[in-house]
Amino acid sequence: MGYQKIDISESIDQLTVNLSEIARVDEWAKHMGYETPQLFGYKFLRYFKTRPCKILIGVRLKSISDYLRSEEKISNFEIALAHSLPDEKALNNFTKYHIDCPPTVIKSLTDKELGQKFIKFGIKILE
């Protein structure tokens, strides 16, 4: 098939813009124009020196925490849908599994506390 590949250096930016459509590495690879997720993962690892799954989870968590801590009144259901999750229960399970905090706790964490939760993903909370 004739896939139009997007440069691997743009992959994190593409993920950030398309979080509502990308939930798995294979979807991310397809969006980037790679025929297989293995080839995408190989190129990603060579360029960024980390696995795409780790970055995918980290970017999703960072975006979720930004939504939760924003001044806007957005329901957990809407936040879940914006991050390719089916509902607020899935959002709760996702955050508890990866950073051991439900969404209600994430809202009340300080920047420093939240930053500590994100260290393993290589994502800086304060940018």
Model pLDDT for residues 20-33, shown as the tens digit of each residue: 999 999 999 999 99
User: What confidence tier does 4 reach under pLDDT thresholds 50, 70, 90?
Assistant: confident
Q: 79 lies in which domain range?
A: 62-121
Is 68:106 a contact under the CB 8 Å cutoff?
yes
| 69 and 42 within one domain | no
Number of domains forming the structure of the chain: 2
**Residue 120: DSSP 8-state:** G
| 27 and 67 within one domain | no
| 69 and 35 within one domain | no
| 67 and 48 within one domain | no
- Domain annotation covers residue 126: no
Q: What is the per-residue pLDDT for 5?
A: 85
| 90 and 69 within one domain | yes
Q: Which residue has the tokens 């709760």?
A: 92
- Domain annotation covers residue 15: yes
- Domain annotation covers residue 57: no
Is 91:79 a contact under the CB 8 Å cutoff?
yes
Query: How many Cα neighbours within 13 Å face the side chain of 19?
Result: 21
